[in-house]
Amino acid sequence: MIEKATVDAIVAHARRDHPDEACGVVAGAEGSDRATRFIPMLNAAMSPTFYEFDSGDLLRLYKELDERDEEPVVIYHSHTATEAYPSRTDINLAQEPGAHYVLVSTRDGADSPEYDGPVEFRSYRIVDGEVTEEEVRVVGSYAETEGEH
Amino acid sequence: MAIELRVPTILRTYTGGAKAVNGDGTNLAEFIDNIDGTHPGLKERIVEGEPEELRRFVNVYVNDEDVRFTGGLKTEVKDGDVVVVLPAVAGG
C-alpha cells in the first residue's frame, strides 16, 4: 500500500533521470510498513544499466533514519530499457530483506511527461535471492485506510 | 573502552539481534577478526578472497570515513572508535 503522491514522485524522478537509472528510498517509522518520507538519491553510477547510492550519501541517510527511528520501507529504482522486474544484479545485491523493492520502467517512451499510458510500477520482496512480487495498492492517503489490515 | 561495531539489519542474525557489538584491534582487519571470534560468520559477510579484501558491495566506515579512502582493512582503529557497516544499495 502506497500513497498516490509518493508514486507520482517516484515516477517523476525516474523520468527526470532517464536515460540513466534513478534510485531512492521512501522511509517510514520502524515497523509501521508505511512509506511516508520520499528521499530521492543520487545514482553515483550515473548509468542506464546500473545504480548505486554514493557511499557518503548512504552513511548520512542511515544515520538520519536511525535518529528518526525510521527505516527504508521502500527502495526504488528505474529500468530505462527493460521491464520493471528485478534483474539478476538486483537480486544478487538486494540486502534489505525488510524493504519493498519498487521498480518502475521508463522504456518505450514512458520517460516522457506526455506519455499517457500506464507506467510500469511494481513491487517485490527480495530475500536470500528469492523474488516475490506483491500487489501494489495505491491510496490517496494512509489516513483514509485507518482501521484496515 | 572498546571499539564499537554498528551492525546493519541483515547481519544482526550474527549478533542475536544486537544493533551494536564491541571488539578490539589496532587495525580494521584485526578488529573484524576479533568480532568474528565472538560472533562467528560476520567476517565472511564483510571480507572475501585471499589476500582478504572488503567485499565490493559492503561499505565500512571508521568514524564516518569510508575506509576505501583510508587504507581499507589496514585502516587503524583505537578505543572509542565507531565502525559502521552498511550494505551497498545498488542494482542493475
Along the 92 residues of chain B, how does pLDDT read in single tens digits?
799 999 999 999 999 999 999 999 999 999 999 999 999 999 999 999 999 999 999 999 999 999 999 999 999 999 999 999 999 999 99
- Comparing CB atoms, the residue among B9, B61, B91 nearest residue A51 is B91
Instruction: State residue A146's pLDDT score.
Output: 83
> Is-above-0.90 flag for pTM?
yes
Which residues, at least 6 apart from A118, have a Cβ–Cβ distance to it below 8 Å? none
Chain B CB contacts of A41 under 8 Å are 89
B-contacting residues in A 103-142 (Cβ below 8 Å): none
- β strands within chain B, DSSP E: 3-6, 20-23, 47-48, 53-54, 58-62, 65-66, 82-87, 90-91
**Given an 8 Å threshold on Cβ–Cβ distance, is A59 in contact with B59?**
yes
**Given an 8 Å threshold on Cβ–Cβ distance, is A55 in contact with B9?**
no
- Comparing CB atoms, the residue among A41, A59, A89 nearest residue B84 is A59
- Comparing CB atoms, the residue among B10, B64, B88 nearest residue A52 is B88
Q: What ipTM was predicted for this assembly?
A: 0.94
Q: Is A97 on the interface with B (CB under 8 A)?
A: yes
C-alpha cell at position A122: 511494481
CATH class of this structure's domain B3-87: alpha beta
What is the phi/psi pair of residue B12, to 5°? -75, -10
Return the bridge partners of B3, or none.
B23
Indicate the domain borders of chain B.
3-87
Total Cβ atoms within 10 A of residue B29:
19
How far apart, in whole angstroms, are the C-alpha atoms of residue B59 and residue B19?
A: 16
- Which domains, ranges and CATH numbers included, belong to chain A? 2-137 (3.40.140.10)
Strand order in the sheet with B20-23: B20-23, B3-6, B82-87, B58-62, B65-66
Which residues, at least 6 apart from A35, have a Cβ–Cβ distance to it below 8 Å? A2, A3, A6, A26, A27, A28, A73, A74, A100
Nearest CA in chain A to B9: A96
C-alpha cell at position A123: 513491487
- Tens of pLDDT, residues A80-128: 999 999 999 999 999 999 999 999 999 999 999 889 889 999 999 999 9
What's the CA angle centered on A28, arms A27 and A31, to 5 degrees? 130
